[in-house]
Amino acid sequence: MDNIDFSAPATREPAAQEPEGQEPATQEPSQLRSSRPYTITVALIAVNVLVFLAMVLSGVSFINPSPEQVRSWGGDFGPATVGAHQWWRLLTSIFLHFGIIHIGFNMYVLFQIGPFIETVFGRARYLIIYFAAGLFGSLVSVWIHPNAVGAGASGAIFGLYGAVFGFLLVQRRTLDPVATKSIAKSAGIFILYNVVYGSMSGTTDLSAHIGGLFAGFLAGMLLVRRRAATS
């Protein structure tokens, strides 16, 4: 997620590109995408893109929307979210983005990790993880940065990576150790890179990222589907 403070304009930074992971057995996300349609991933990307297009058509900047513009569309903002009890902003903010680069990177990463999550957890559980992580990330963000406008899907996307670790923790005895190591390494590199990148950026809302990661990890452990042990 990106945060823009009214006193010092900043931007929830898009998640950086995700290193390719693997399905628990052998397939990579790119292979998974070709085998079946991934309805939830496509739907989430479509909703984000449609909201962004609606914002642009209404006059919001295509490249660099102002905090006021994003707030008016439902951005997460302490005085409104908490002060005015507009709690719906915790949800709406995860479908808003600060410009084409922001949404472009986030949707690319969602396109990479989404099919894996949809395959491993199923559609319903995928949605639960995505929204739980997004909402918790927004809540942490507004608590840490109450006077900044927050928006972006990256908290929810970090939650999907948290769910990967929750899945690996619960299923570690049933998976091929080589596949487990590969998946964990891929997800770990993604998270580490984004934390380092976010720490160097004055616009990244790491609180939303970490909040989403934590919520996704818990949800992943609770919602993982049991598998038979690998021989």
Residue 7 has a pLDDT of: 39
Q: Using an 8 Å Cβ cutoff, are 27 and 21 in contact?
A: no
Quote the Cα angle for 157-159-189, to 5°: 75
pTM for the full model? 0.81
Residue 92 has a pLDDT of: 98
Residue 46 has a pLDDT of: 98
CA distances from 7 to 60, 69, 206 (A): 20, 15, 19
Q: What is the number of other CB atoms lying within 10 angstroms of the CB of residue 228?
A: 6
Residue 15 has a pLDDT of: 55
Report, as residue numbers or ranges, the catalytic residues.
Answer: 154, 209
Q: Which residues pair with 151 in a beta bridge?
A: 2
How does pLDDT run along the chain (231 residues), one tens digit per residue?
766 554 333 345 555 554 444 444 434 444 444 456 799 999 999 999 999 999 999 999 999 999 999 999 999 999 999 999 999 999 999 999 999 999 999 999 999 999 999 999 999 999 999 999 999 999 999 999 999 999 999 999 999 999 999 999 998 888 778 877 888 888 888 888 877 877 776 667 789 999 999 999 999 999 987 655 544
3-state secondary structure of 148: strand
Residue 225 has a pLDDT of: 77
Residue 159 has a pLDDT of: 97
Residue 202 has a pLDDT of: 64
Extended beta strands in 37-152, E state: 148-151
